[in-house]
Amino acid sequence: MSELIIRRYRQEDQSAVWELHVQGLQQMGAYGGDGPWDDDMRHIEEHYYQNEGEFLIGEYQGKVAAMGAFRKTGEHEAEIKRMRTHPDFQGKGFAQRIYELLETKARALGYLRLHLDTGVNLIPAQKLYLKNGFVEIKRDYVHMGILAIFYEKKLG
């Protein structure tokens, strides 16, 4: 049986990452077509690596099966972004493994707080974040009128 291989994003991953991103948005009912809200996905190095962040890919059976990232949003805080698992591989713990590595990297970079948002209908994502110590701080409408839950976690 294949193992999940987690590594940093590379430019040659762009099309597979884009496809996984769109699948995730469609699954959430939040895909509004290509627009400026996806600029970070077109320029990953700039938005993540050049912004004191990270973007990880999980490969399984030779495919990009999962991904996740964070980027700096304040002096000591970062936002978890673009957590996705391909529908064929959900429920295997891939998101948990990617999240753990992201948190480890964020701690190593000196971040003291992580924050994120996820859709109210994404129950598996909510469970992942609550299991990992995130606390709900508010609910608000985001892109395309989707109701989102905003979470934060203090590191330290």
Bridge partner residues of 139 (DSSP): 149
Please indicate, yes or no, if residue 149 is contained in any of the structural domains. no
Please indicate, yes or no, if residue 73 is contained in any of the structural domains. yes
Please indicate, yes or no, if residue 81 is contained in any of the structural domains. yes
Q: Is 4 helix (H, G, I), strand (E, B) or coil?
A: coil
Please indicate, yes or no, if residue 84 is contained in any of the structural domains. yes
Please indicate, yes or no, if residue 136 is contained in any of the structural domains. no
* pLDDT value, residue 1: 47
Query: Which CATH number goes with the domain that contains 17?
Result: 3.40.630.30
Across the range 120-138, mean pLDDT stands at 95
Cα–Cα distance measured from residue 48 to residue 43, given in angstroms and rounded to the nearest whole number = 8
Domain of 70? 5-112
Q: Which single residue is written with the structure tokens 């990953």?
A: 44
* pLDDT value, residue 32: 66
Among the ranges given (21-35, 59-73, 110-124), the one the predictor scored with the smallest mean pLDDT: 21-35
Residue 3 has which token pair?
């193992």
Please indicate, yes or no, if residue 124 is contained in any of the structural domains. no
Please indicate, yes or no, if residue 143 is contained in any of the structural domains. no
Q: What percent of the chain has pLDDT over 90?
A: 81
* Residue 38 CB partners (closer than 8 Å, separation 6+): 21
Residues present in the chain in total:
156
Provide the number of structural domains found in the chain: 1
Please indicate, yes or no, if residue 118 is contained in any of the structural domains. no
* Residue 61 CB partners (closer than 8 Å, separation 6+): 2
Bridge partner residues of 52 (DSSP): none
